């Protein structure tokens, strides 16, 4: 009880009311595909966490956009929430340590929490020339991944680069960049996107803490709760040419169809993600709603297979 009080007081001191927090928990519970009866339990995971799994967050070939998306989220407190439920032992962007001390932190965390920590990987791994295209502290990404990932309880590949190679792995890919799972022959839970929606990472971790297991995955390693349907299947623009009322409003099915962005290159029919329902920036909007066609950022090799962007396939 005291712990809960402290949590809500901490939120309040950051200008976040209990109501805002419960609103977020309601959205998160719906995103996870759980019924509304789970909302109080989801809130409890944050307010009174039974355990805080240690996390080692590795950065490889990437732009840090995935971390930025999480930490600069419009939910003013999402970074706080993540830090409430996770014990982040190593994260190059947010930790105070640098240089040799940072390296020592990494080795110490892996040793101390061997078999118990969650490894989050952001960025792709260079595989050609013995991994020579990407290094941290004189060691290749490949070497670091081979050492750290097998010692983790589970590995989450955050973003399309870590999951499938992303832009680093786009043709002609001189460094032989691939996703971390492919690089070292390990299975990973993938949360792709460029960047991914932070709510899908939070949902995965809360699923783990609440139900004691990782969520069910599709054949590309993605949580089904977030990547089980195509963008097109959930797109409100689709209704314009399938809904009689809109067809009447637009004058003809052809005119209503013009509201859809398919002819300007929307890859919604080929792309699995929950952007239309999870949305971005505190549920404000998402690319297709704002008028930009989906470019298929959560699909493997999308820089090669979905281009040229903005042209009908
Ligand atoms: S805008 Fe894209 S996702 Fe929406 S209906 Fe058209 S093709 Fe489908
Ligand atoms: S709408 Fe498409 S391109 Fe945009 S974030 Fe969602 S999956 Fe990625």
pLDDT per residue over 72-125, tens digit each? 665 556 666 677 778 888 888 778 788 888 889 999 999 999 999 999 999 999
Give residue limits of the domains in the chain.
Answer: 2-226, 229-305
Measured CA to CA, the distance from residue 222 to residue 217 in angstroms comes to 5
The confidence score (pLDDT) of residue 88 equals 84
**Does CATH number 4.10.480.10 belong to domain 229-305?**
yes
Q: Give the residue among 162, 159, 157, 196 at the shortest CA–CA distance from 179.
A: 162
pTM: 0.90
Measured CA to CA, the distance from residue 273 to residue 282 in angstroms comes to 17
The confidence score (pLDDT) of residue 257 equals 63
Partners of 189 in the beta sheet? 156
Best of 229, 234, 237 for a ligand 1 pocket test (most atoms within 8 Å of beta carbon): 237
Residue 276 has, within 13 A of its CA and on its CB side, a CA count of 21
Write the pLDDT tens digit of every residue in 222-240.
999 999 999 999 998 886 6
Measured CA to CA, the distance from residue 161 to residue 54 in angstroms comes to 23
Residue 15 Cα to ligand 2 midpoint, Å, equals: 31
**DSSP string for residues in 88-142:** EEEETTT-S--HHHHHHHHHHHHHHTTTTPEEEEESBEE-GGGGTT-EETTEEHH
The residues, any chain, with a CB within 8 Å of residue 75's CB and separated by 6 or more, are 24, 81, 198, 282
> 29-61 burial by CB neighbour count: b if 16+ within 10 A, else e?
bbbbbbeeebbeebbbbbbebeeebbbbbbbbb
Give the pLDDT means over successive 10-residue stretches in the chain (313 positions): 70 83 90 93 86 90 89 64 78 82 91 95 97 94 98 96 97 97 97 94 90 94 97 86 70 70 93 94 88 97 96 88
Residue 260 Cα to ligand 1 midpoint, Å, equals: 5
The confidence score (pLDDT) of residue 306 equals 97
Task: Please name which ligand lies nearest the alpha carbon of 272.
Answer: 2
The confidence score (pLDDT) of residue 52 equals 83
Measured CA to CA, the distance from residue 199 to residue 278 in angstroms comes to 8
Best of 231, 280, 281, 313 for a ligand 2 pocket test (most atoms within 8 Å of beta carbon): 231
The confidence score (pLDDT) of residue 289 equals 92
Question: How is domain 2-226 classified at the CATH fold level?
Answer: Rossmann fold (3.40.50)
| Cβ(230)–Cβ(266) below 8 Å | no
Protein residue whose Cα sits closest to atom 2 of ligand 2: 294
The confidence score (pLDDT) of residue 173 equals 97
Task: Please name which ligand lies nearest the alpha carbon of 277.
Answer: 2
The confidence score (pLDDT) of residue 252 equals 72
The confidence score (pLDDT) of residue 302 equals 97
């Amino acid at each position: 009880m005291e712990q809960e009080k402290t949590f809500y007081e901490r939120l309040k001191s950051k200008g976040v009311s209990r109501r805002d927090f419960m609103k977020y928990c309601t959205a998160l519970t719906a995103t996870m595909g759980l019924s509304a009866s789970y909302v109080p339990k989801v809130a409890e995971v944050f307010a009174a966490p039974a355990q805080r799994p240690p996390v080692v967050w590795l950065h490889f070939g990437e732009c840090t956009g995935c971390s930025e998306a999480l930490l600069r989220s419009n939910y003013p407190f999402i970074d706080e929430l993540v830090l409430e439920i996770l014990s982040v032992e190593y994260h190059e962007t947010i930790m105070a340590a640098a240089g040799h001390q940072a390296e020592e932190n990494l080795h110490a965390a892996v040793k101390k929490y061997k078999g118990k920590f969650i490894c989050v990987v952001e960025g792709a791994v260079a595989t050609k020339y013995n991994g020579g295209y990407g290094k941290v502290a004189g060691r290749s990404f490949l070497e670091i991944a081979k050492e750290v990932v097998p010692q983790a309880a589970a590995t989450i590949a955050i973003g399309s680069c870590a999951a499938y190679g992303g832009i680093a792995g786009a043709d002609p890919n001189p460094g032989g960049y691939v996703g971390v799972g492919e690089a070292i022959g390990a299975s990973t839970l993938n949360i792709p996107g460029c960047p991914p929606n932070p709510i899908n990472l939070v949902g995965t971790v809360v699923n783990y803490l609440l139900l004691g297991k990782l969520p069910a995955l599709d054949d590309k390693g993605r949580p089904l709760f977030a990547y089980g349907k195509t963008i097109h299947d959930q797109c409100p623009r689709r209704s314009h040419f399938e809904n009689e009322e809109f067809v009447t409003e637009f004058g003809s099915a052809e005119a209503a169809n013009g509201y859809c962005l398919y002819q300007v290159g929307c890859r919604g029919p080929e792309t699995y993600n929950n952007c239309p329902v999870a949305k971005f920036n505190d549920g404000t909007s998402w690319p297709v709603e704002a008028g930009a066609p989906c470019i298929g950022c959560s699909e493997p090799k999308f820089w090669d297979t979905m281009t040229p962007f903005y042209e009908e396939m």
